[in-house]
């Protein structure tokens, strides 16, 4: 039976909670695709994924589904994970403002755009798990989970904290980040870290659902 070992681990009642949960994933690249894979294999079937990108050859070092170069990411991932719902949509400020986050139990922010991440945090911080910088690193031992206000050594986290302070926003939300020093100047990346960040996000989702 497909989920037999998940049920052994979580127990029937908790597994039913996982199956009943509704999750939204914003961005299904190097981090989001691994979070999706982990949740799907753990019994979460009501997952909505949002992305506007198509797979490029440069995605192949870190993104699930990227063998399908030129294909729309959410369409390819729906082939691989048939129960997911897809939104092929560019994430911008107007979209965040108008989108209804209410139906979802938890929101995973694996998006790239800083302004969008900040607006998502303001709108749904109570149900948010945000992935921060995972490029330019290769040491998975450095990955941490904390409140946004407890982050350190991550330039993106610092920028988000500063912008939230300017907006007089002081609410808490969970982030997955790495204070590992940048190992290159360009957008170099290693799936060891991007994938591990996605899997850590999935673990945090599971813990929150079962709590």
pLDDT digits (tens, 9 = 90+) for 13-42: 999 999 999 999 999 999 999 999 999 999
Tell me the pLDDT tens digit for each residue of 53-110. Answer: 999 999 999 999 999 999 999 999 999 999 999 999 999 999 999 999 999 999 999 9
The CATH number linked to 140 is 3.40.50.720
Assess contact for 120 and 128: CB atoms under 8 A.
Answer: yes
Assess contact for 154 and 114: CB atoms under 8 A.
Answer: no
State the CB neighbour count (10 A cutoff) for residue 92: 13
Q: How confident is the model at residue 48 (pLDDT cuts 50, 70, 90)?
A: very high
Residue 148: give the domain boundaries. 4-210
Q: Is the pLDDT of residue 187 over 90?
A: no
- Total domains in the fold of the chain: 1
What pTM was computed for the model? 0.96
State the CB neighbour count (10 A cutoff) for residue 69: 13
| DSSP labels, 76-124 | HHHHHSTT-EEEE----HHHHHH---TT-SEEEE--S-HHHHHHHHHHH
């Amino acid at each position: 039976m497909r989920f037999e070992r998940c049920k052994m681990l979580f127990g029937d009642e908790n597994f039913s909670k996982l199956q009943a949960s509704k999750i939204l994933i914003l961005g299904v690249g190097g981090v989001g695709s691994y979070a999706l894979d982990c949740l799907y294999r753990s019994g979460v079937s009501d997952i909505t994924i949002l992305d506007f990108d198509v797979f490029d050859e440069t995605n192949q070092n870190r993104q699930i589904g990227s063998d399908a170069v030129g294909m729309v990411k959410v369409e390819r991932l729906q082939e691989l994970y048939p129960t997911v719902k897809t939104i092929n949509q560019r994430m911008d400020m107007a979209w965040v403002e108008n989108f209804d986050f209410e139906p979802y139990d938890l929101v995973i922010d694996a998006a790239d755009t800083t302004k969008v991440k900040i607006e998502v945090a303001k709108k749904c911080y109570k149900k948010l798990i945000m992935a921060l910088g995972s490029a330019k690193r290769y040491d998975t031992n450095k990955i941490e989970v904390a409140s946004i206000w407890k982050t350190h050594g991550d330039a993106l986290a610092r920028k988000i904290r500063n912008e939230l302070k300017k907006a007089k926003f002081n609410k808490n939300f969970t982030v997955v980040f790495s204070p590992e020093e940048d190992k290159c100047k360009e957008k170099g990346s290693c799936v060891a870290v991007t994938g591990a960040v996605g899997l850590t996000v999935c673990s945090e989702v599971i813990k929150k659902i079962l709590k």
